[in-house]
Amino acid sequence: MRLTVLAAGAWGTALAIAFSAKHRVTLWTRESDVTQEMLSLRENRRFLPGFPLPANLQIGTAFEAAVDGADLVMVAAPLAGFRATLQRLRESCQPVPVIWVCKGLEAGTAKFPHQIVAEELGADVCSGVLTGPSFAEEVAKGLPMAITLASRDVEFARRMARELHSPRMRIYANEDLIGAEVGGAVKNVMAIATGICDGLGFGLNARAALMTRGLAEIARLGVALGGQPGTFLGLAGMGDLVLTCTGDLSRNRRVGLALAAGKKLPEILAELGHVAEGVGTAREVARLAAELGIEMPITQAVEAILYRDEPAVLAVEKLLSRDPRDEAL
C-alpha cells in the first residue's frame, strides 16, 4: 500500500518508521529545514532524535507530490493545523481515504476531528481515527502495542486495520468513532490533573481515585454525545487514560507536574517544546460540558488552573471538599 504521512512531528515520524516495514511510505513536513535534515541525516533530530529513518522511507519535499497516488493519507498534524492540512489535501488531489491521529477539540469551535473532516472533505470520504495507548518513542523502537482504528464505516476500519496491523502493532477495528475521539481527547485533560496530583505529593491512592473518576467524566460526556459505553473500557478509553496519566513520556502529565511546582503555563509550554493537546482541550471540553449540562468537576478544575490562574492546591481542595454522593457515571 502507498501510504503518505502528513506532518513529521514525533508521532508522524514514529508511525512512518513503523509502517515502512510493510508499506511504501512517504513522510511530508511543512518545515523545509526539517525536510532537509531528514534527507541529509536520515534522522528527525528536532522532533524524534535518536531514531534512524529506514532507507525505503521517502521524504516528501512537496505536498502535491507527497499525496499524489497515495492509497491512504495519514494526517499526523496537531489539532491546531489539522483543518488547514485537510484543506490543502482537498485542493491537491482527488478524494483519498484519510486516517488521523490527533486528539482533542478544535479551539474556538469545540469540534472533534471527525467533524472537521466532514466539513473539509465531505461526509462520504472513507475516514477514521487511529487512537489508543501509544507513545511515539516506543512506536519508533518497535515495542509491542495495541491501538484502535475507529470509523463510522466499520468495513473500512476492518480493512485498514488488517493492512496496517503487524505483530508488534496490534490494531483493533471499532465503529464507535465518537466514543474513540472523546476518549482520546479528554484523557489528556485527566493526565494534566494526574500530574498535578502527583506533583503535590498526594500519593498513589489519590492518583487511582482521580483516574477512576476521570474515566467516569470521559464516559459521561462520551455517552451524551452518542458514544457507546463499552468504548470507554477499551483501548481508546481506559487504555489510553492509564498510559497518559502514569507514563513519564506523557507531555500532558509533565504539564501537570510543572503546574504543581508553581510554574506558569507559557514557561511550561516553552520548556516542553512539543504540543500538549490537553492544554487547549481542557477549555473546549469545559465549555462543551457547560453547554450540555454535564458535570465534569475534574475538567473544570484543570481549566481553572490553566486559564483563570487558580492555584493548583486551591483547585484540588475544592475537588476534595465536594459533598459525598453515590458512585455513578
pTM: 0.94
187 part of the active site? yes
- pLDDT score recorded for residue 275: 79
pLDDT of residue 257: 97
Q: Tell me whether residue 241 is in a domain.
A: yes
- SS3 state at 127: strand
Q: What pLDDT, on the 0 to 100 scale, is given for residue 325?
A: 74
Q: pLDDT tens-digit profile of 144-156?
A: 999 999 999 999 9
How confident is the model at residue 308, as a pLDDT? 92
Residue 136 pairs with which residues in a beta bridge? Answer: none
Last-in-domain residue among 146, 175, 204: 175
Instruction: Mark whether 145 and 193 lie in a shared domain.
Output: no
For residue 217, give its domain range. Answer: 180-320
Residue 98, SS3 per DSSP = strand
On whether both 162 and 251 belong to a single domain, the answer is: no
Number of domains in the chain: 2
User: Which regions of the chain are under pLDDT 70?
Assistant: 328-329
**R_g of the chain, CA atoms, integer Å:** 19
Of 22, 187, 264, 318, the catalytic one is: 187
pLDDT of residue 320: 77
Amino acid at 254: R
Predicted confidence at residue 329, as pLDDT, reads: 61
Cβ atoms 156, 128 nearer than 8 A: yes
Q: Are both 97 and 112 inside the same structural domain?
A: yes
Cα–Cα distance for residue pair 94/89, rounded to 1 Å? 9
